[in-house]
Every structure is written in structure tokens, then in C-alpha cells.
Structure 1
Amino acid sequence: MVVITEFKSNRVNNNMSDICKNCSTPVSGKYCSNCGQSTATARINFHYIIHEIQHSIFHVDRGILHTIKELITRPGDSIREYLSGKRITHFKPFSFILILGTIYGFICFFLKVYPENSFAYLQTDAAANNYSQLVFDWMYGHYSFVMLAFIPFYALASYIVFKKSGYNFVEFLVINSYIVGMQILILILTYPIYYFTLSIWGVLLTFLFCYLYQFWVYIQLFGKSSPIKTVCKTSISMVLSFLFVVIASSLVTFVFIFINHR
């Protein structure tokens, strides 16, 4: 009996001999019970990088492509699941918008053709065109951060309009991050149309798809029982967010001009 007891004791001690490299907690399984990190932490090499890229992007149950699929087929339901705590299968919202924003900003900045600048071509003032070009050069050079700066205004507008939904302001930051991320994806997919045609109508059609997507998300998220009411609220939210962005942009422009002309 003594031998058996000692054997069991040694086996337990051996199982608990591993130490989590993240929080130094003794672990006995594949994951740390304290912080959740995997115990399989091999040295970082080329194989590790390839595996992480495949895992982050192409993982069937949790990669960015899976999140995009969910946000295309069932956006409102998918976002609701994330907000309710089912998050392991979702790509994180701010990483989502940073990745897509960086891709779109790089494409536009590299090719020097900006869809949003198409309206500036209608201007006859050469100085105004040059100024617009400088503004868009800077904006697309920092596109993902510009979009992140806009999201609080979108979140504030939707929080005001949909306050009775029970979601707080930070949760609306998450909602709008996923929406804006998908709208950027729409811009990426439709960019070749504008690049080869330079048509304002192509830009307007793209914006229409972006706005329709936002309506769809809010209808799934808030208004399955009363979609017409949700469409009206979403429209008000869009107008409010536009006003907030215009006011904030005007203040930033005023400060910029004031500083550079002192």
C-alpha cells in the first residue's frame, strides 16, 4: 500500500511539474487553468510563423475569414453572440478594422487613386484640388487609425438612438467596429471598378452598398420584430454620426490652420 501511494504521489507531482511560462502557475494539462495559455510553447521559428498565419487567417472556426463569413451571412446575430460572451470564434473587432483598414489604405495610397476624392474632380479650382490631394494622401497613409478615430462618433450616435437596447457605449464601439470593418471590405472589393473607370457613379454605388449593409446589421441586431422602425432609427443614427464627424473634422482643421498660420 505504501508503494502504491508513493507511486500515485510521484505521478501527480510529475503531472504538476510543468510551469506556465506566462504566469508561472503549475499546470497539468494542455492549457493553464489560470491564464489560459497553451503549454505547447515551442521556440519561435519559421514553422511557427507559418502556423500562426494559417491559424489567424484561415482557421475554419475562428480566423478572420470565418468572421467575415459570419458578418456577411448573419451579421447582427454574430455581433450579438460576441457581445453576449461567445468570443473565441470571433476575430477581435479592433484588430479586424486595423487589418482591413491598413490593406485598403495601402492600396489607395500606393495607387494614388482615391474614390472619396472623386467629387473633388468636379472643382475648377486647381488649388482646391491640390489641397484635397494632400488631405487624401495623409488620410490614406494613416487610414486604419483615421477609421478608428471616427468610430467613437459612430458609436455615440448609435448609442443615443438605440439607448433602449441595453447596450452601453463601449459595446456600441464593438458593433460599429465590425460594421466599419465590413464597409472597408466592400470598398476593397469594389475598388477595381473605380480604379479602371474613375466614375462617380461607381463610388456612389459603393457607398450605397455600405449604407445598406449597416441597415441590415441593425435590423438583425435590434429590429427583427419591427424592421421599419429600426430603419428609421438607423437613418437618424447615420445623420447624427455624420454631423459629429463634420463638427470634429472642422475643429481639427481649424486648429491645424491656426497653428500653421501663427
Structure 2
Amino acid sequence: MKCSVCLSEINGKYCSKCGQYYKGERINLTTFLGDLFESIFSLEKSFLRNIRIGLSQPKALVLNYWNGFRKFYYSPGKFFTIASLFLVLHYSIANDFLGTVVTGDISSQFIILLSNILLLTFSSFLLYIQFKKNFFEHLILNIYNVSLWIIVFFPISVILSLTVNNNSIEGCFSTPFHILIIIWNSKAFELTKLKRFLFVTINLLMLYGTLFFLVYMLG
């Protein structure tokens, strides 16, 4: 079989010259769904591996992207896309995420997601200003971490939505959700344990102070 791109002979599944993948089978429902799923989650780079690295080495993902390297790890956009798909799936099961009830259509979930990312971006930008990262670099940091923890908390929220009829109980998981995001944000910077504790505490106060102020003003 000749490669359709460079016309070299293909022995196996990959062209030895240009690297194009060759499947060699007709399209059916299985291949269609498999290709669609693979294009979203890039299974060749391992969805679970990227989640594991995000959890165990959050600095690796962020610094890699900050320093201009691409394609090896998931991009922040891909993390955001996967988190959004998880929220869509969650919305089909229940209308709340960790006790935050979503009224209206599904777009409300994305408004909440974007609001969380923007609030956390502003707070981390102000708090870590001494590290001279611009607003968009902080935006990348928070897209990674908010999306990561949405993916992790998705099964927890679904289980609670199906088994617990009390939003206040589900809401108890909202604070750990934000604490973990803020801790993971701090891991992108070189800090002593004491400074990390202080920065995380201040960041939490900034976030919840802003949220309470917005709720008071809108209420």
C-alpha cells in the first residue's frame, strides 16, 4: 500500500517517511465512533496519562506550555474541551454540579465554568504578580487546573446527584474543589511551604470575598 501523502510504501500501520497512520479497514459505526472519540481525547497520547501527570506533576503541564512546547501533553484547550463535554454529560443527568444548581439551558453551565476560570485568573494574576507572568499566562494556568478538577470531580458530583437529594451536602465538596485548584495554581511557582500556605489562604480569601461581594451586589 502506498502512502496517500508521500507515495512511499507502507509496511504496518504507519508510513515510515511521513508518519501518516493507515487503518486499512472500511468505515462502519465502530470505526466512526472510535475515530470521533480518539479525535476528542487523543487516546494515542493517553487521556489517563495526561490526567495522571496533571495530578502528580501540575507544574510540568503548565511550564511546558508557558515555555513554548506543544503537542506532547494536552493543550489547555483540549483540557477545557474535555471538561466541557463532561459538564454536558453531567447536565443530561442532573442540573447541578457540586451543589451549584444550574437553571435555564446548558449554556448556564459554561457561564459558570468561564466565570470560575476568570475569577481564579484575576486572583492568581494579582497574587503572584511578583513572578511577572502576564494575564494570559495565568489564564492558561487556570484553564488547565479548573478543567482538570472538573474532570476529577465529575464522577463524585454525578454519584451525589443520583444518591443525595440535598444540595447542601453536595455543596460541601465545592470548597475542596476550589482549594485544590488554588493549591495546584501555587505549584506552578517556586515557593516555600510557609509561603505556599500563605498564598493559598490569601487566594481563597480573595476568591470567596469576590464571590460574596458579587452575590451581595446581584442579590
Tell me the distance in 1 between the aligned counterparts of 2:216 and 2:171. Answer: 24
2:163 to 183, 196, 207: 196
Tell me the distance in 1 between the aligned counterparts of 2:66 and 2:188. Answer: 11
1:229 to 192, 195, 205: 195
Which is bigger in relative contact order (C-alpha 8 A, separation at least 6)?
2
Within 5 A, what are the aligned runs for 1:88-103? 88-103=71-86
Within 5 A, what are the aligned runs for 1:216-255? 216-223=183-190, 225-246=191-212, 253=218
What is the CA distance between 1:106 and its match in structure 2? 3.7
2:131 to 165, 186, 190: 165
Contact 1:154 1:241 in 2 (8 A): yes
Tell me the distance in 2 between the aligned counterparts of 1:216 and 1:190. Answer: 20
Tell me the distance in 1 between the aligned counterparts of 2:18 and 2:142. Answer: 36
Tell me the distance in 2 between the aligned counterparts of 1:63 and 1:184. Answer: 18
> Which one-letter code corresponds to 1:85 in the other structure?
G
CA displacement, residues 133-179 of structure 1 (integer Å, 9 cap, x when unaligned): 6xx22275531343124322211110110011232110100111111
2:94 to 96, 107, 111: 111
Query: More deviation in 182-191 or 164-173?
Result: 182-191
- In the other structure, the counterpart of 1:178 is 144
> Which one-letter code corresponds to 1:103 in the other structure?
F
> Which one-letter code corresponds to 1:51 in the other structure?
D
- In the other structure, the counterpart of 1:57 is 41
Contact 1:63 1:91 in 2 (8 A): no
The share of aligned pairs that are identical, in percent, is 12
- In the other structure, the counterpart of 1:23 is none
CA displacement, residues 190-214 of structure 1 (integer Å, 9 cap, x when unaligned): 120353133534531x234324422
Flag structure 2 segments of 5+ consecutive residues without an equivalent.
Answer: 7-16
Tell me the distance in 2 between the aligned counterparts of 1:146 and 1:197. Answer: 22
CA displacement, residues 88-139 of structure 1 (integer Å, 9 cap, x when unaligned): 122221332233234234424543455425xxxxxxxxxxxxxxx6xx2227
Flag structure 1 segments of 5+ consecutive residues without an equivalent.
Answer: 1-16, 19-28, 32-37, 118-132, 255-262
Count of aligned residue pairs for this structure pair: 203
Contact 1:219 1:231 in 2 (8 A): no
Scaled by the length of structure 2, the TM-score of the pair is 0.71
- SS class of match (2:138): helix
- SS class of match (1:142): helix
Tell me the distance in 1 between the aligned counterparts of 2:46 and 2:140. Answer: 17
> Which one-letter code corresponds to 2:18 in the other structure?
K
- In the other structure, the counterpart of 1:30 is 18
Tell me the distance in 2 between the aligned counterparts of 1:98 and 1:52. Answer: 14
> Which one-letter code corresponds to 2:53 in the other structure?
E
Contact 2:182 2:204 in 1 (8 A): no
> Which one-letter code corresponds to 1:92 in the other structure?
S
Contact 2:99 2:170 in 1 (8 A): no
Larger radius of gyration: 1
